[in-house]
Structure 1
Amino acid sequence: MIHLGVEAPAEAGAREILLDRTMGEGRFTKSSERLREGRLPAEGLALVARDGDSIVGTVRLWNVSAGGRDALLLGPLAVAPELQGEGVGSKLMRLALNRAAAAGHGAIVLVGDAPYYSRFGFANGLTARLLMPGPVDRNRFLALELRSGALAGARGLIVPTGDLVAPALVPDLAERLPVRLAA
């Protein structure tokens, strides 16, 4: 039986293995990754699906500024290949949206499959004046207001605002950064 809950710190490794299985190394080259690098997920919004002791699904939300408005960035959402189509991803999404709304967050942005995310209310109209920190397919750049008007007047670059991870916890971060500074 699948159980949903908050990701425990000790589950980070299992989560990364699941992401490698479902998304591969290419996930580190995506624009959304630039917003997540070196940051902690929003408080209480790193969620997992467990089958016994195994992590079989994951979703995280991250604090960002979306054109001057506080928002969350959702992603990645991943489900073990053998459970895809079983509703695990939808259940994780509903839990994430409910927890974000209950915590008082006003809006969520993401880059993803529009037909999938539209069933949860995401659309690309709210992102028309927003920019990602890198290339993005505008049809896949979506947003949802949890509170009406939360993205009103939002214009400009999406930037990370969440807490930083302690450097010792991400020893290979410097290797993944696109630019290195000379010493």
Structure 2
Amino acid sequence: MGSGIQKMEALLRLTAISMLVLTACLVGFDSQTKVVFYIEKKASFKDLRALVGLVYVTSLAAAYNLLQLSCSSFSARCKGSSLQSCTYLAWLRFVLDQAAVYVVFAGNLAATEHALLVVTGEENFQWVKWCGKYSRFCVQIGGSLLCGFGASVAMIFIASISAFNLFRLYSPTKFMHLKPKS
């Protein structure tokens, strides 16, 4: 059973890594240039701060998941060592996985909100609609946001697995007592 869970976690981490890298690349390399009245205008992800933040967040989350994937062999060997050190490691993985999910999801939501303002425009702030002029730019940002939310879903399952791995160490009858070593 433990081996199957480890394989599923590794598969989910690989999926999340690929989707996070795809998100960062789609956003980071997205730009479109148009000529308007003999003046070249360029739309880039750097024009929207939420998209710059999304590139950083998804890059860091991909690096974190890659690090966890490489460290999973170390935690698999934790069975022979003391239960107390395994508990600390399980708590650390649980907290870091939770934080990674929340940060990636929040970054995607902020970028989505900013992208929605670009699509609809806001006359009170004199923000014009970009998607009429820069349609390829907007489509590529939309695709990257979908990949980011897909990565968030994969990371939610990863966090669920880390929660399972943590709380199976505790006794079901005594609150917050470690199971006796068998």
- Which TM-score bucket, shorter chain as reference? under 0.3
TM-score normalised per structure 2:
0.24
TM-score normalised per structure 1:
0.24
Question: Which structure has more RCO (C-alpha within 8 Å, separation ≥ 6)?
Answer: 2
